[in-house]
């Protein structure tokens, strides 16, 4: 393998910085599967890592990018052979090992997912960690007896990548979705993805009561803080609230009443460390019965490695919309 390009992040005596570098194969983190990367994606976590505005990396230097999809070029694992199309999300990428912002990546075979039939490499990265998180939330909810009969699912932070994909995925799975967003200019777009109702976060007033009239069969909360506290009293008996974000704060000011009177369940969704068997289950759903119908519309931007710093700044400034995918190599 010849030298290749990567967006590499350092934190040393010269300060915190990230940029394009030329690397050799021996610089990559170890793993049984060597992959030529075709696509990655940009998540909020990537923007924090790439700029140093969040403590994401646990060692330095590393290539950024928590998602990767490409083609196997070499493998010492009997599970994979040259030419196989594969993907990986989370699993320590851009935290403890090199991530997807490089033309090549080495992966442990235990974290490498064969690209499911029904998805292209590009589609898998439009989904990426965001789509995986939304689908994982629904798996967890349905494992706890969530069903469309309980009523609509609320999705907070609906204008973000996870929120948009959740609308599309939940609708595909047979649910009505009520989208909650502070960006009312995007409501028509959210309806086009399948939302049956759009609720302006700025006009959403919670009563503050421990219990209120049930309004939602369940919810996926991307916001945290006051949002999750306000949603819990509005969930029907034995509905589920899955939480996967904290853009609105890490505090939870609530009471036990929704839990002990209505049997509401609060489910944590941590996609990065998901067990392999559950990963396979989620990706099979995403490639088949839960595959979003509007992936090309949700992918609003495709960029190169060189354009990443500008993308990070826009995302951290609240100016991004939809999913940004990164074209890493020509495959």
CATH of the domain at 93: 3.90.180.10
| Same domain, yes or no: 156 and 261 | yes
Q: How many domains is the chain built from?
A: 2
Torsion of CA 135, 131, 115, 83, to 10 degrees: -160
Task: State mean pLDDT over 200-220.
Answer: 93
Tokens, residue 307: 């354009």
| Same domain, yes or no: 83 and 138 | no
Strand partners of residue 219: 154, 241
> What pLDDT, on a 0 to 100 scale, did the predictor assign at position 247?
85
* DSSP code of residue 78: T
Residues contacting residue 78 through CB under 8 Å, at least 6 positions apart: none
| Same domain, yes or no: 112 and 193 | no
pLDDT in tens, 284-325: 999 999 999 999 999 999 999 999 999 999 999 988 899 999
pLDDT in tens, 78-123: 999 999 999 999 999 999 999 999 999 999 999 999 999 999 999 9
| Same domain, yes or no: 163 and 209 | yes
Structural domain containing residue 39: 4-118+296-327
Pairwise CA distance, residues 306 & 283, whole Å: 29
Residue 282 lies in a domain: no
Strand partners of residue 99: none
With cut-offs at 50, 70 and 90, classify the pLDDT of residue 1: low
pLDDT in tens, 229-247: 999 999 999 999 999 999 8
State whether residue 109 is helix, strand or coil: helix
Residue 218 has pLDDT above 80, yes or no: yes
Pairwise CA distance, residues 43 & 325, whole Å: 9
Residue 278 lies in a domain: no
Task: State mean pLDDT over 52-77.
Answer: 97
Exposure on the CB side of residue 182, measured as CA atoms within 13 A: 10
Residue 309 lies in a domain: yes
Strand partners of residue 325: 41, 302
Q: Classify residue 310 by burial, with Cβ atoms within 10 Å: 0-12, 13-18, 19+.
A: exposed
Residue 274 lies in a domain: no
Give the DSSP per-residue string, 169-228: HHHHTT--EEEEES-GGGHHHHHHHT-SEEEEGGG------SS----EEEEEESSBTHHH
Residue 281 lies in a domain: no
């Amino acid at each position: 393998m010849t030298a290749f390009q990567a967006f590499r992040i350092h934190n040393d005596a010269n300060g915190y910085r990230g940029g394009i570098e030329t690397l050799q194969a021996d610089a990559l983190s170890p793993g049984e599967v060597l992959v030529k990367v075709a696509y990655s994606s940009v998540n909020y976590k990537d923007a924090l890592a790439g700029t140093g505005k969040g403590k994401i990396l646990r060692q330095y230097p590393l290539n950024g990018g928590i998602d990767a999809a490409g083609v196997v070029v070499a493998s010492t694992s009997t599970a994979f052979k040259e030419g196989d199309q594969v993907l990986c999300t989370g699993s320590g990428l851009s935290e403890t090992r090199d991530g997807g912002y490089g033309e090549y990546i080495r992966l442990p075979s235990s974290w490498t997912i064969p690209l499911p039939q029904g998805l292209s490499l590009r589609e898998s990265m439009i989904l990426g960690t965001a789509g995986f998180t939304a689908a994982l939330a629904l798996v967890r909810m349905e494992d706890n007896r969530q069903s469309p009969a309980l009523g609509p699912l609320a999705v907070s932070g609906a204008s973000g990548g996870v929120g948009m994909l959740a609308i599309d995925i939940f609708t595909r799975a047979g649910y009505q979705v009520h989208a909650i967003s502070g960006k009312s200019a995007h409501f028509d777009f959210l309806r086009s993805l399948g939302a049956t109702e759009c609720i302006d976060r700025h006009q959403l007033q919670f009563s503050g009561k421990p219990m209120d009239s049930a309004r939602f069969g369940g919810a996926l909360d991307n916001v945290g803080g006051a949002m999750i506290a306000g949603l819990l009293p509005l969930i029907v008996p034995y509905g589920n609230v899955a939480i996967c974000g904290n853009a609105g704060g890490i505090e939870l000011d609530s009471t036990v009443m929704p839990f002990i009177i209505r049997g509401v369940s609060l489910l944590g969704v941590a996609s990065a460390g998901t067990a392999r068997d559950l990963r396979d289950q989620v990706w099979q759903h995403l490639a088949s019965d839960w595959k979003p119908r509007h992936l090309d519309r949700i992918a609003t931007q495709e960029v190169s490695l060189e354009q990443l710093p500008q993308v990070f700044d826009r995302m951290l400034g609240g100016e991004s919309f939809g999913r940004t995918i990164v074209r890493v190599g020509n495959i």
